Structure 1
């Protein structure tokens, strides 16, 4: 008999297909927020930057803009952003950008709630710590994503400890943004490589849900529809970059694909390897899935192949292996699929494998991963 536990998200709402500025104003008023601080990256700041335009549109409601978040959400940026929010007496954080900005802003909330003022103080608040779970929420966040990473839909965040060159997790039921605004018009200027690579990250979310050895009806249903939407939407935006309906299709697809994972089932070996490739080796967010997922699927062949057949069919490639279907999609989008293409060689495989074993994602792989040698075999398939 099927049994399990489904945990509902504490996120209040997702607003889609409406102008972000209009929605942010409405939500700020509804929440009685009067001092909004925008968090973003340098690429969205500047005279013609997207974040700069939203700041101007918010007028006096926006009290400042923090644009020092870098790739993979370094601890230093988290603490600096929290310090700026404290200085500005912000009562709402507005994250505009991709997964790095959104994850960093999630942990800025935690730093504000706990009164943290130095990067090393985050040590006591990693995922699973009693201190983190005991925190009483204060300042919350609202997310306006410009990529397809889907960080905005979970109460988990990955932040990089640059001193150790390692990505670490943080969690709290209310780290997830209070609301998410999906405005496809704000994604038009997202660089194509970033749009499509994070789209492959969203595909990875769906695939690892569908291939997870634990079945959950909610996550399976959402991942199935999400993957279909992503396959169609990514192809359409590749052919017609200005198609807002296709961009919204991608956004809805990534939302559905992540929703099951956010409910507690977790992700798998592709994400586990990706965390190490990103946090330690600097492989850009999204490209980690392009190189890791096909190899993981190949290594898993022979275990629950009916799930992999489902994945291939949803990607419009019935009869092909899931590995080939995923790799083919990435190639059609102009993305790398080999470790050598992202600057990672065999000399790093053993270290990557040993670090990957510490990630909980390896425990959700359909074919059991029991040693670093198993991970090295996967990496060899991706070389």
Structure 2
């Protein structure tokens, strides 16, 4: 069991990553039966992404968390067609997933100015409605923030992730001398000489049992779902959270981190992954690194060191393993180059797979179109299967 002071959780509580809102589309306007006039449609409620917005700012600005669009104007002699009610826009951060009350995903906002309609306004009174307006749609929605970054740092507390982020990017995360050094996600950008930029997310440190929501488990794990690749960061000297918890070697740390990801979502293990072995400036680090490489190359010979229930079904396969020191800067340039190389390789693989899929769909659609002449009642198109 892990104990942590309440003050840490209060500080972390200032960072909000989910919010429940009420939204209601505007009612339509009254129709004008005698002259056949139609009332205006009620306004709609939209969720709109803004780069500089946070969920905490949204909550502070709208403490009632109620968003109601304007009503449509009534039809009248001077304006038989009533004007539409004013739309309501809810400003949210980029990287928001919007779900309804039942957990069904309505949509995601992944870039600036993305928008999703969440509550539609009612239609105005017209002949079909006996000139009576309809009410707007009512809806309770959940906003769930999941960071979008190229690289997500994975590691137990005090592995040196925050120090590493400050070394490889322009981010300046607050680093404190206690177990949970990162109390909220920090985002940095690696800048390359040719102006290429790669975003890196440092997330609150995992602990054993994170998949069961111990510590900051789910707050961490859900964010890593929205990163393109993982960068494991481990302390070459191992890890021990407190005097009451078990000491873990660097090898055991990697096994336990892998298991936590697997227990939360097996799909996370399929992401491209790199391993940064940190604190190589410590005495005897070189010897321990050679020992770790041997263990990683022959993992089955060393799994007896870990409790059986903590052994993952499949081990992580690291595309690159880089010894570094976030303090002295050793290996940092090589790590930055490996991160870029790995992302480029993965992007090329995705492009090749997309091209092959397009080609296959084109062949299939052409086969369907030309294998037999279409009947005079059926219209076929070779375009409909092309992505």
What TM-score, normalized to structure 1? 0.30
- Greater fraction of residues in strand: 2
- Greater fraction of residues in helix: 1
Higher relative contact order (CA 8 A, sep 6+): 1
